[in-house]
Amino acid sequence: MFRTALRNVFAHKARLLMTVLAVMLGVAFVSGTLVFADTLSNAFRNQSAKSYDDVAVAVSSHADPDNPKEEPGLSGEVLDKISAVDGVSGVYGRVEGFAGVADPDGKLIGVGWSNKGSNFAPGKDGKDTAYTFTDGSGPVKDDQIALDEESAGKGEYKVGDRVRVATNGPVKEYTLSGVFTTEDGAVNAGGSLVLFDTAVAQKQYLQPGYFETATVAAAPEADDARVLKAVEPLLPENADAQTGTALADEQADQIEQGMGNLKQVLLGFAGIALFVGIFLISNTFTMLVAQRTKEIALMRAVGASRRQVTRSVLAEAAVVGLVASAVGFGLGVGLAVGLRSGMAALDMKMPAGPLVLSATPVVAAFAVGVLITVFAAWLPGRRAAKIPPVAAMNSVHAAATTKSLVLRNSIGAAVTALGAVGIVAGASTGGDDGRLYIGAGAFLALIGVIVLIPLLSRPVIALVRPLLVGPFGVAGKLAGQNAVRNPRRTGATASALAIGLTLVTALSVLGVTVGAAIDKMTTDNIRADYMISMANGGDLDRSALTALEKADGVSAVSPQQDAYFRVDGDFVSASAVTPGDIEKVLTVDTVSGNAASLAQGRIAVAEKTAESRGWKPGDTVSVTFDDDEKAKLTVGAVYKDSEFLSPVLVDRKVVAGHEAKPSIRQIFVKTDGGQSAANEKVLVDALGDNPAITVMDRQDIRDEFGGAINTLLNVMYGLLAMALIIAVLGVVNTLAMSVFERQQEIGMLRAIGLDRRRVKRMVRLEAVVISVFGAVVGIGLGTFLGWAIGETVAESIPGYALVLPWGRIGIFVVLAALVGVLAAMWPARNAARLNMLNAIKAE
């Protein structure tokens, strides 16, 4: 029986090709994910270990630099004491923060959020062990900087050139003293790294004479643990220390956790692709078994048992799974290599390291490939074993019994109903619990619809059959009849497309609805023409606000300056704003009182905060500022809650002097004449053409808040592409095997006058009908899921209202029809090329 199984595999190579491709793609996704994650994790672990090779002890401070009662970090005196410890060969203090480098055209080099500045910390030999200089030397003067090699190359800068650099203050020019290589994570993520002289960096990022962290190098004969024990008593209360080895291990664990999360997400999508592949595999073996009914019957007649027949089919599946897994693993390794190259092309530099091929991805590839294939072939094998020898030898096709179809439809209806109830319950519950219910309900509903899909195929396809007859005549009529001739086969083929489009449609409905809500939220709440912010999302310097207030054509300007004070011991989040201007740049929808009272030193309070604390206009509130100064503030207005307004608004003058350094996240600007290129240039010039500051108009603001949704959708579409490709292979496979199965019928049609052109058209239309049917089912279920998931987040997104993306849904249907046309090209060509006489004689 095993030899027979092998002969069958080799005899039906062409018909098993699509199955091999489906399994191969799924295995490639799984193995590629595992190899890529292992390689990336190993590279970062090695980089982390290398970074701390020369570090005996790492010291870090966790001070609050805005708290005047606490030291802002590690003082130079503390580092001097550590240097005197027996066994210590060097101590290197570090400070760091944001630094943006302008290219010769004034544009920011690197990715804003990962651009970084730090200090050059030379040892007694004048070298900083953290950096290797390829040209020039480290900065030792106030007007000097050093740049990482990548950034210097992007800006085409050479030693001696003048370079414009911005931190969170005005842009300044420095002389480039040197270029260095580094394994710093910021540079690997596509950012830039600027080194300043230590005194300059301390002044910019902390306070003169203080460091945020320090690394301690030990003499070769010194023991790291003993050095740590001697260093710890010398540290202030706001600092702690650990050995370099412990810190490297800690970072390695964090890397492992991050890679684990990435791996889980990618494997989830790989699982979807494999789930879709199950239908293709099952369909293939079902059709192969049907075509070999006489052969199986003959084996039964000469003594083969039911168990042996089932095992024979499963053996064929195992061989297919092994071959597909081997090829898929090789493809997965290539995918992992390609992902590394892709990251490099996107300026996401990955640490150098070898490709890691551990046992896990190899075992996973073959286990997944073989088990999925055998599992999918089990039901067809079981059906084959149940056919009585005499009945099988009398008929090429064994029709499903009415009893089995009734049972199947009853189970499908019950499971679908249960899933729908779970989805509706989840939508009503909301929150994380609601999403759990929806997830379970979605799974059940999907399974139920897949079970029911053969039943659904007849009435749904019956609706479009009249549309096929008119334009396409006999070919259209035959295509409609063929599509419903075998509902199980049609259902299995359509199910693969339905699964993919269910997920794609749900994502689209949710994404478009959330995007529309965010767009409405920004449109309704922002009256400003421009929003000013830092490229890294950090704080703007006060000088930027002053410059904008003085700029020509600016009619109103107000910051969103973070302000915190305590009321009855509880911290209250507030924004310091410009009275009179805040209402011109943001919507302040007053419920009671008057927002103009902010100019009189009063506060305005959001409605929910006012209700929870029992405040109303005229009430006096006792507050304690960050510097422990106390004051009594009067509530002047209550306004509706807004995503763009803090719970409390206060005049900037009220909090002035109570905070060491204002934290200004955004500045909103209204200009005379509204948005224009001229007004934007005025603002850019007022800010000193600072590469680190972004000037966004109203459309940019909408894109800033809603762009992440589109990016996420595109990533999801890309990850689901593999499942859709496998679904397309399923359509190709079903049509190709259907053509082979219907050779005699096609030969007869040719004999009575159906020419080759109309035979091709018949096969293409059949593919289009099946593909569009699967798309309709998937779009319907996906829309339902999208609505339900949206209901669980509706409360957290003001103005959330379901939006059906009709344009995208129409595109999905058109693409499904196009998929049918493309999938039918090869089967249609084969059908048209069949020899009439040979086809008529075929069984």
The alpha carbon of 553 is separated from its chain's Cα centroid by a whole number of angstroms, namely 41
- Residue 159 to residues 137, 145, 150, 167, 193, Cα–Cα distance (Å): 9, 10, 14, 21, 16
Q: Looking at per-residue confidence, does 129 or 384 come out higher?
A: 129
Which of these, 595, 818, 554, lies nearest to 683 by C-alpha position? 554
pLDDT value for 402: 47
Span 291-303, pLDDT tens digits = 677 777 777 777 7
Dihedral, 230, 234, 236, 239 alpha carbons, nearest 10: -30
* 769 and 671 within one domain: no
Q: Is residue 430 part of a domain?
A: no
Q: Identify the domain boundary among 359, 379, 398.
A: 398
* 655 and 768 within one domain: no
Span 515-553, pLDDT tens digits = 888 888 888 889 999 999 998 888 898 899 999 999 999
Report how far residue 711's alpha carbon sits from residue 726's, in angstroms, rounded to the nearest whole number.
24
CB 90 within 8 A of CB 124: yes
- The percent of residues in the chain predicted with pLDDT above 70, rounded, is 92
Q: What is the mean pLDDT of residues 83-96?
A: 90
Helix (H) or strand (E) holding 239: strand 239-243
* 230 and 171 within one domain: yes
Edge-to-edge order in the sheet of strand 213-218: 88-94, 213-218, 57-61, 239-243
Residue 635 phi, psi dihedral angles, 5° rounding? -75, 120
Beta-carbon contacts of 532 under 8 Å, excluding residues fewer than 6 positions away, are 540, 544, 548, 666, 667, 668, 669, 683, 687, 693, 694, 695, 696
Q: Is residue 409 part of a domain?
A: no
Which of these, 704, 743, 717, lies nearest to 830 by C-alpha position? 743
Q: How many CB atoms lie within 10 A of CB 624?
A: 16
pLDDT value for 842: 56
Q: Return mean pLDDT, the chain.
A: 85
Span 162-205, pLDDT tens digits = 999 998 778 999 999 999 998 787 787 778 999 999 999 999 89
Beta-carbon contacts of 760 under 8 Å, excluding residues fewer than 6 positions away, are 828, 829, 831, 832
* E strands in 642-707: 648-651, 663-671, 693-697
Confidence of residue 398 (pLDDT cuts 50, 70, 90): very low
Q: What is the mean pLDDT of residues 24-42?
A: 86
- On the question of pLDDT at 804 being above 70, the answer is yes
Q: Is residue 189 part of a domain?
A: yes
Q: Identify the domain boundary among 251, 285, 317.
A: 251
Residue 185 phi, psi dihedral angles, 5° rounding? -60, -30
Q: Is residue 599 part of a domain?
A: yes
Report how far residue 154's alpha carbon sits from residue 184's, in angstroms, rounded to the nearest whole number.
17
Span 408-461, pLDDT tens digits = 788 889 999 999 999 999 998 888 888 899 989 999 998 999 888 888 888 888
- Domains held by the chain: number: 4
* 565 and 649 within one domain: yes
* 66 and 186 within one domain: yes
pLDDT value for 65: 52
Q: Looking at per-residue confidence, does 77 or 62 come out higher?
A: 77
Dihedral, 116, 119, 121, 122 alpha carbons, nearest 10: 100
- Residue 557 to residues 594, 668, 683, 686, Cα–Cα distance (Å): 20, 6, 12, 13
Q: Which string of DSSP letters, residue by residue, matches 804-825?
A: --HHHHHHHHHHHHHHHHHHTH
Beta-carbon contacts of 391 under 8 Å, excluding residues fewer than 6 positions away, are 398
Confidence of residue 635 (pLDDT cuts 50, 70, 90): very high
Q: What is the mean pLDDT of residues 627-649?
A: 91
Q: Looking at per-residue confidence, does 47 or 38 come out higher?
A: 38
pLDDT value for 15: 62
* 588 and 500 within one domain: no
770: Cα within 13 Å, side-chain hemisphere? 40
- On the question of pLDDT at 556 being above 90, the answer is yes
Span 260-303, pLDDT tens digits = 777 888 888 888 888 888 877 877 777 777 767 777 777 777 77
DSSP state of 112: G
Task: Tokens for 284, please give them.
Answer: 């293939």
CB 238 within 8 A of CB 70: yes
DSSP state of 234: G
* 243 and 105 within one domain: yes
Q: Identify the domain boundary among 206, 232, 251.
A: 251
Beta-carbon contacts of 753 under 8 Å, excluding residues fewer than 6 positions away, are none
Report how far residue 165's alpha carbon sits from residue 688's, in angstroms, rounded to the nearest whole number.
12
Q: What is the mean pLDDT of residues 731-750?
A: 75
Span 561-616, pLDDT tens digits = 988 888 888 888 899 999 999 999 999 999 999 999 999 999 999 999 999 999 99
> Which CATH number is 605's domain given?
2.40.70
- On the question of pLDDT at 388 being above 80, the answer is no
* 517 and 478 within one domain: yes
- The number of residues in the chain equals 843
- On the question of pLDDT at 381 being above 60, the answer is yes
pLDDT value for 837: 65
* 712 and 664 within one domain: no
Q: Which of 639-643, 734-738, 765-769 has the lowest mean pLDDT?
A: 734-738
pLDDT value for 547: 93
Confidence of residue 796 (pLDDT cuts 50, 70, 90): confident
Q: Looking at per-residue confidence, does 275 or 362 come out higher?
A: 362
* 667 and 722 within one domain: no
Q: Is residue 438 part of a domain?
A: no
Confidence of residue 634 (pLDDT cuts 50, 70, 90): very high
Give per-residue burial for 334-371: e unless 16+ CB within 10 Å, then b: ebbeebbeebeeeeebbbebeebbeeebbebbbebbbe
Q: Is residue 813 part of a domain?
A: yes
CB 511 within 8 A of CB 710: yes
Q: What is the mean pLDDT of residues 793-814?
A: 86
199: Cα within 13 Å, side-chain hemisphere? 5
- On the question of pLDDT at 394 being above 60, the answer is no
pLDDT value for 401: 47
663: which strand partners? Answer: 562
Confidence of residue 397 (pLDDT cuts 50, 70, 90): very low
Domain that holds residue 561: 536-690
Helix 359-386 to helix 306-345 angle (10° resolution) is 150
9: Cα within 13 Å, side-chain hemisphere? 21
Q: Is residue 419 part of a domain?
A: no
CB 694 within 8 A of CB 533: yes
Q: Is residue 442 part of a domain?
A: no
Helix (H) or strand (E) holding 179: strand 172-181
| β-strand pairing of 630-639 with 590-593 | antiparallel
Q: Which of 395-409, 483-497, 720-734 has the lowest mean pLDDT?
A: 395-409
Task: State whether residue 641 is helix, strand or coil.
Answer: coil
pLDDT value for 396: 47
* 247 and 137 within one domain: yes
- On the question of pLDDT at 650 being above 60, the answer is yes
Q: Is 778 left (phi over 0), alpha (psi -120 to 50) or beta?
A: alpha
DSSP state of 257: H
Residue type, 95: V
Report how far residue 336's alpha carbon sits from residue 350's, in angstroms, rounded to the nearest whole number.
13
- Residue 493 to residues 458, 499, 811, 815, 828, Cα–Cα distance (Å): 14, 11, 21, 16, 17
Report how far residue 800's alpha carbon sits from residue 787's, in angstroms, rounded to the nearest whole number.
11
pLDDT value for 831: 76
Residue type, 333: V
* 671 and 541 within one domain: yes
